[in-house]
Structure 1
Amino acid sequence: MIKISIKKGYSEKIREGFPLLTKEMVQQGDIDDEGKIFTAIDPRGKFIARGYLGKQNKGSGWLLTWDHQEEINEAHFKKKIEEAAEHRHAFFEDDQTDAFRLFNGEGDGIGGLTIDHYADHYLFTWYSEGIYMFRDEIIRAFEEVISYKSIYEKKRFDSKGQYVEDDDFVKGERPDFPLIVKENGAHFAVYLNDGAMTGIFLDQRDVRKAIRDEYAEGKTVLNTFSYTGAFSVFAALGGAMKTTSVDLANRSVSKTIEQFSMNGIDYEAQDILVRDVFRYFNYCVKNEIKFDLVVMDPPSFARSKKHTFSASKDYKNLVKQAIDITEKKGIIVASTNAASFDMNKFKTFIDQAFKEKGARYKIIETYSLPEDFRTTEDYPLGDYLKVCVIQTR
């Protein structure tokens, strides 16, 4: 264990519960030793908190305990997993949904780690070499708390912050893929052994349900940046007249067909297009094509041959393009997972877009992360999801 002295201005911030150690906080101490347990001390040498070193995004490590007596070991990890499982008790009992997040990083007390549940198969995602060095202790602690069919893992910590290609299987019985999981009564095919993505983003569960139950019936629906078409599936299940799914990736077609088929939906009655979304918007304007419901959930940053998209810089213009192809009194579901700005800033982008188009609107409702994506008030950046359901006037 090493000691890291924290600058005076940051000592109180950590003492109050802020869990991320950043380079600018450090007065003295080596922060480059991945996986090393450290004690954070204030300029007077007094204990503040204890954590581990691990480079993740802009951070250098995570604080895990503010108790001077508590050690970071297998017992510590077991306690955190027990608390997380108790918090998800209702999800374990839900016979309509069996895909959810069991453990959500710093929201459950261990920054750098998530654990997702897919029909009793579990996916561990490690976000730094530092946390990965505790892998064996964490998995042993997990096994003491949770019964499982299999464990898979994803490593997201190479030098560029991308996915580390590897055999994802850890232990248990290898299932046949795809796994079929349930979400609010719908079915999805997921793959725990096929690259960085599984086939469904669990954090959009509540939004998908709202589209099915409240907004889709009798509507024409455009799902942009559609990935595997999950929003389109729920729109179709909600009685949409027709869905159009648009994504730049070629494999989105077969993946979307698979998800429609899982739910008994005739995929040939839907449009599934491989297009640059921005060019497709222009095509719709040129051909006077409009939709009753437009869903936009772009990545925080994306690049195609002709476009570079950054949510913090370009979301306003994306909304402006959506306004052009949305019917009067239509609905725009605007979503972003960018952690660099909050909901108030996001609403500002929307407001600016409508003002610049000379259009009126009303935000009907908003969504953030669902209950299983537990967050802490001490780290607002962890509550990254922002969704606004907008009615054009």
Structure 2
Amino acid sequence: MILSTIKIKNKFKNKVANGFPLLTKEMLVNQDQLKQEGDILVAVDERNQFIAKGFQGNQNKGIGWLLTWDSSEEVDQRLFSNRLRAALGRRKSWFTKTNTTAFRVFNGEGDGIGGLTIDYFDGHYLFTWYSEGIYLFRDEILAAFEELSSYKSIYEKKRFDTKGKYLADDDFVRGERPSFPLIIKENGVNFSIYLNDGAMVGVFLDQRDVRRAIRDRFADGKSVLNLFSYTGAFSVFASLGGAVKTTSVDLANRSVAKTIEQFSMNGIDYEAQDILVRDVFRYFDYAVKNNVKFDLVVMDPPSFARSKKHTFSAAKDYKNLMKQAIDVTEDKGMIVASTNAASFNMKKFQRFIDEAFKEKGIRYEILETYSLPEDFMISSSFPEGDYLKVVFVKKK
């Protein structure tokens, strides 16, 4: 790897020196100092005093991540080994759980290496690489991991664009290839997991606490609408929590078979549920026209989505989405509003909700809020990493 020195502008010096790990172009005195992905970067101030070391890797709005503020620490396999060892130690108790067998082992910058996450699925590991820069350290990171942990298999996902040759057409890295689906447990509930089938594996682990709350405290006796339902995980938990009926709505054709599979894994009669392939916004129109309402509405849209007739951006459109959800929620009913958009914080998200209710002329009460679960480590120096925002809102 090439070693490059980058100079940080004075106005960003303290922020970076205090542990902010994400590098952006606006921080740099001269952007021409950047050469290529995977270069090791030494960040100095305008007086050429050392601040930190990291690597170049384009990810969203960033151009790299800082890894160490110790001038004597090299960016090498030993550093990766130290970060991985600490992360595994922090999750020690998770490996002994029997009712939850899937969790996050390593959460990017929260565990000290931006651009990398590692998830555990009952002995099988999934590495996700978010930039070509971090991917170029793949061999050192995998070697460090193998020294620290046993495994049944390792799979990987590359969440970045590259013209380079892909290593495997099914994401398998090493170990013994399992048969799919893998059956994992989350708070006693079964999920089918596919590590070899596209970018998403069957369940979003960051919503674990939210699903449990729905099952244990809010679903009993309720009619439930699950929007942007993916594989129906919220619907499964609602049904197991005593929901009278669930309606799952998603634009993807494959969501039907995937949701049926998750219901069946838990002994739930999927034929007693509604599983619909619809544009959510067209479904809202149908529900309003036919006066269809629900006691509990769950919506966890992608940060950005496009269908034939609609484009949705959480930052611009969540307020209007909320207004439509209010229209299909019974009086005294509840909306579980969720977003994983990192471009705004919980305060702004709650402002979207407040504006939606005020514009509808309806009072509301916030019952609970959720952010990332404890296995999704967050750096105190990078609160932006706590991207998940979930609000349980009661319509009054």
TM range (shorter): over 0.9
**TM-superposed deviation, 1:166:** 3.6
Distance 2:307 2:328 in 1: 22
Aligned equivalent of 1:336:
339
Aligned equivalent of 1:66:
69
1:178-200: CA deviation from partner (whole Å, max 9, x where unpaired): 00000000000010000100010
Aligned equivalent of 1:188:
191
Whether 1:92 and 2:82 are equivalent positions in the alignment is no
Contact 1:261-1:267 at 8 Å conserved across structures: yes
Whether 1:174 and 2:177 are equivalent positions in the alignment is yes
Aligned equivalent of 2:213:
210
Whether 1:9 and 2:14 are equivalent positions in the alignment is no
Match of 2:25 among 23, 30, 35: 23
Contact 1:154-1:196 at 8 Å conserved across structures: yes
Whether 1:153 and 2:156 are equivalent positions in the alignment is yes
Aligned equivalent of 1:239:
242
Match of 2:305 among 302, 305, 310: 302
Distance 1:292 1:159 in 2: 46
Aligned equivalent of 2:204:
201
Letter in 2 for 1:5: K
Letter in 2 for 1:19: P
1:3-44: CA deviation from partner (whole Å, max 9, x where unpaired): 111111111110011001111111135223111111100011
**TM-superposed deviation, 1:253:** 0.1
Where does structure 2 lack aligned partners over 5 or more consecutive residues? none
**TM-superposed deviation, 1:167:** 3.2
Match of 1:357 among 343, 360, 364: 360
DSSP-derived class of the 1:27 partner:
coil
- Alignment map for 1:213-228 (pairs within 5 Å): 213-228=216-231
Distance 1:159 1:171, change over 3 A: closer
Whether 1:143 and 2:182 are equivalent positions in the alignment is no
DSSP-derived class of the 1:32 partner:
coil
**TM-superposed deviation, 1:305:** 0.7
Aligned equivalent of 1:388:
391
Distance 2:249 2:48 in 1: 57
**TM-superposed deviation, 1:159:** 5.8
Letter in 2 for 1:63: L
Aligned equivalent of 2:84:
81
Whether 1:322 and 2:325 are equivalent positions in the alignment is yes
Contact 1:157-1:164 at 8 Å conserved across structures: no
DSSP-derived class of the 2:33 partner:
coil
Letter in 1 for 2:78: A
Runs of 4+ in structure 1 deviating by more than 2 angstroms, as ranges, are 163-167
Distance 2:168 2:153 in 1: 19
Aligned equivalent of 1:131:
134
**TM-superposed deviation, 1:94:** 1.1
Letter in 2 for 1:87: R
Distance 2:108 2:76 in 1: 17
Contact 1:154-1:164 at 8 Å conserved across structures: no
Contact 1:155-1:164 at 8 Å conserved across structures: no
Distance 1:235 1:245 in 2: 11
Where does structure 1 lack aligned partners over 5 or more consecutive residues? none
Letter in 1 for 2:15: K
Letter in 2 for 1:38: L
Distance 2:180 2:287 in 1: 37
DSSP-derived class of the 2:38 partner:
coil
TM score, norm. by length of structure 2? 0.97
1:54-77: CA deviation from partner (whole Å, max 9, x where unpaired): 111111110000001111111111
Contact 1:120-1:149 at 8 Å conserved across structures: yes
Whether 1:229 and 2:232 are equivalent positions in the alignment is yes
Contact 1:233-1:260 at 8 Å conserved across structures: yes
**TM-superposed deviation, 1:165:** 8.4
Percent identity between the aligned chains? 70
TM score, norm. by length of structure 1? 0.98
Aligned equivalent of 2:46:
43
Number of positions where the alignment pairs a residue of Structure 1 with one of Structure 2: 391
